[in-house]
Chain A
Amino acid sequence: MKFNVLRTGGSFRASLASMAIAATLLSGTTLAQAQEHGGILTISQVADAQPVALLALRAGNTPWIRNVFETLTRIDPATFQPQPVLAESWTLAEDGLSMTIALRSDVTFHSGRPMTAEDVKFSFETAALPESTSQVGFIAREFESMDVVDDHTLNIVFKRPLSNVFDFFEETYIVDRDTYDQREDGSQVIGTGPYTFAEWSPGASITLKRYEDYRVEDTAWFDEIEVAIIPDPTATIAALRSTRTQIATGLTPRDTLEFTRNPQFEVVETGGTMYPLGVNVGIAPLDNKLVRQAIAYAVDRERINDQVFLGTGTVTDLFWSPSAPGYTDELASHYSYDPEKAKGLIAEAGAEGATIPIVVPAIPSQRSIFEIVQNNLREVGLIPEAVVLDVADFDKRQVAGDLGAAFLLLHGQIGFSSPTLLSSLPSLREGNPSGFWNDDYVALREAMLAATTPEALGEATTALTEYMLDEAYSTVLVQAPGQIVVAAGLEGVETSVRGGLILAGAYEE
């Protein structure tokens, strides 16, 4: 079986579905064709690698890390069901409070040492530490204990049933406990994947080499994968067009536009970012729910999708994935563009002419979104003011939950389940920049976290979503997919649900 990368033109959801088919076809199997090993694949990424943050989701690691490291399971992008990778099988106790995981016995690290349950335990314990900066580390902190039953069996006891434990497995790479402390300068980045991390020239390039002792023989077709760090989009495009690179990551829809109708390239949509507009419920006039709802009605999301993302995104009010239990089109379009209704709500709240400072990070897409939001709010009688912050400053204030009255955020966490997003997204978690945290919200969150069946999760999600939409403290404007450009002739490229490149089966025709 082989997987041809997707052509642009389909919807985001269609792309995910197609990728899922490919993932299913390839999961745990080998390519049937008689491919030959050899050659060098060159890909580009905009951010530098961060070996120091192996257990966190980082733009600089996403394009290469899944080729060097592996996880216990991989989530099928279509069904969101976990597929085994390093885990052979798992058994969840009836009460949902413990899980026994059987590991593959033929896995070795690039150092040659066999992987054991101790390594898995070490990786999970490390991810739970705050300094790992893992977005899903909080899930591991819900583990009561981890017991190594034998070299290939691990038993985990949970403090409470964890419906999102597979998000943790998906994002937590199994690292070599012997060399983990030497990863920071890139000298010992040891995983179990089909390629080894051979060399890192900070800010310039990463070299991956085929792992000759990988447990699956017919895979990792290239001798080397060269990852060029090219932060400038113009230079990224030049590198692709001059055939220096065969895959380009980190481009915007505007950058990839010229490739969509070019038969020499194909554009793959994967992972993605959600773009919420948040307001601080403690600052007047936004402490009035009617004003918050008016703002949500006033914003023309379709226009943002068309003009900023060239129609590639999904217009929605919600943070959840469209395939999440409890996600409905009705909820997703609750705040359809309705300036008249917005005007009425503002008049009812007596907030005509109110000034709304909006903090915007100095990122082109966010500035473009602001332009539209600004026009929309002016139309309904508010006076928006841009407060543009340098990205480093913006990030610092986002972490501190101190972004002022209103703010345009972006979260690259598309693909996580709804219970995970509740605690991983800065917009939703405790200490969010909206200052929104009360007993009702906490109770609805707890109900969602406690749900153990899809039905119960769906009901809890709907209840929480309705409450969040009514409070309107933070509503998503668009969920936009990430885009990867692949040169024609390169086959077998896969992606994970959160946009990671999987090149084990990639080969040149």
Chain B
Amino acid sequence: MISFLLRKLPSVAVVALISSAIAFILPRLAPGDPALAIAGSDATPEQLAAVREQMGLSKPLIQQYLDWMFGMFRGDFGQSFIMRRPVTTVIGSRLESTLELAFLAMLLMIAIGLVLGVLAGSPRSKWARVVLDIMTTLFLATPPFLTGLLLILFLGIFFPILPISGEVGFFENPWLALQFLILPALALALPQAAIVARLLQTAMNSARGEDYVDLAKAKGVSPGRITWRHVLRNSLGTAVVALGLRAGDLLAGAIVIEAIFARNGLGSLAVYSVQSRDYMVLQVLILGAVILAVFIQLFSEIILAALDPRIRLES
């Protein structure tokens, strides 16, 4: 696995370098001006020019890019134009919120996705299958923001069981943090879990037609053992790939969910940075997202190899 990772290193570096250039240029292509967030929409051209000068936006673009790149090698990711704090501090203060949300959503996605998938991919009565199909279709069709609003309405306002606004850090008060996390994590996880369940269901149905399943049946292996030892294990590869891909969607979905539940994570930071054209924060967030996606893909490949002996990382 080490040699696999070492071989991947150059391509990861190239991806990071290209991504850094894109992350730098992309926000600057959008119309607008970060100095306006400070100067305000009522500013005069003289006021805007004075603020631009103060923010260092008058420097040539290439110099700004090189300053940023060399700064990163020294561990200095720059300073937020708007918040006037180091970007790492700004992102660091939001990271915990998003990680907690994404982690719990990921756990719920795996748990619900696997349970629904296995149930739907196993022999069931007609009515049980109908109920399972309806559930997965509903979860699949309902976007996270709608699920979030419904959860707020029923579990936060009509029957105020769980908090629906704000957050508490997990290390500050784990029990309370969990209460704040449950609804947003559930809203985020359900559609993704339904996708995982559908893929798993299809893979399991397909696996059931394989020769080794017929052989197991002929040998008198119990249906439960066939499902768990043969069908599920051979179908999990699809689920793992889907989980890896869905992780990215979880982060994207967090933008909306954080807004609805008034959580202050990276999603809301990204939206704020886009609105205020805070390039310094935005470019680090974009670069971070790309690198994270690369690592999730590598991780998925490693898990796949562990599950399926036919796949070898070295090959």
Contacts and interface: CB of A to CB of B under 8 A. Distances in A.
A201 B152 contact: no
B172 interface: no
A203 B152 contact: no
Interface string B79-123: 010111100001001100000000000000000000000000000
B289 interface: no
A185 B264 CA distance: 18
B50 A129 contact: yes
Contact of A238 (B43, B164, B269): B164
A201 B83 CA distance: 9
B40 interface: yes
Given A201-B264, A231-B259, A239-B262, A133 B43 contact: yes
Nearest to B39: A133
Contacts of B275: 391-392
A226 to B, nearest CB: 10
A131 B165 contact: no
A7 to B, nearest CB: 23
A36 interface: no
A401 B262 CA distance: 36
Contacts of A48: 82-83, 272
Given A203-B269, A431-B44, A232 B84 contact: no
A94 interface: no
B30 A242 contact: no
Nearest to A137: B47
A135 interface: yes
A396 B33 contact: yes
A477 B43 CA distance: 22
B84 A395 contact: no
Contacts of B90: 202
A35 interface: no
Nearest to A392: B32
Contacts of B164: 238, 242
Interface in A384-401: 389-396, 398-401
Given A238-B165, A239-B165, A390 B30 contact: yes
Residue picked from B44, B93, B275, most chain A C-beta under 10 Å: B44
A14 B202 CA distance: 66
Interface in A35-57: 48, 50-53, 56-57
Interface stretch (B155-163, B237-245, B294-302): B155-163
A411 interface: yes
Contacts of B36: 392, 395-396, 399
A58 B276 CA distance: 14
Interface string A467-498: 00000000000000000000000000000000
Interface string A358-402: 000000000000000000000000000000011111111011110
Interface in B255-271: 259-262, 264, 268-269, 271
Contacts of B160: 242
Interface in A184-239: 184-186, 201-205, 228-232, 234-236, 238-239
A59 to B, nearest CB: 9
Interface string A404-429: 00000001010000000000111001
A481 to B, nearest CB: 19
A229 B269 CA distance: 12
19 contacts: A52-B82, A129-B50, A131-B47, A202-B93, A205-B264, A231-B259, A232-B262, A236-B262, A238-B260, A239-B262, A242-B160, A244-B166, A392-B30, A392-B32, A393-B32, A394-B41, A396-B33, A399-B48, A425-B42
Interface of A: 48, 50-53, 56-58, 129-131, 133, 135, 137, 184-186, 201-205, 228-232, 234-236, 238-239, 241-242, 244-245, 389-396, 398-401, 411, 413, 424-426, 429, 431
Interface of B: 30-33, 36-51, 54, 80, 82-85, 90, 93-94, 149, 152, 156-157, 160, 163-166, 259-262, 264, 268-269, 271-272, 275-277
Given A235-B262, A238-B156, A392-B37, 5 more contacts: A58-B40, A131-B54, A202-B93, A203-B264, A389-B31
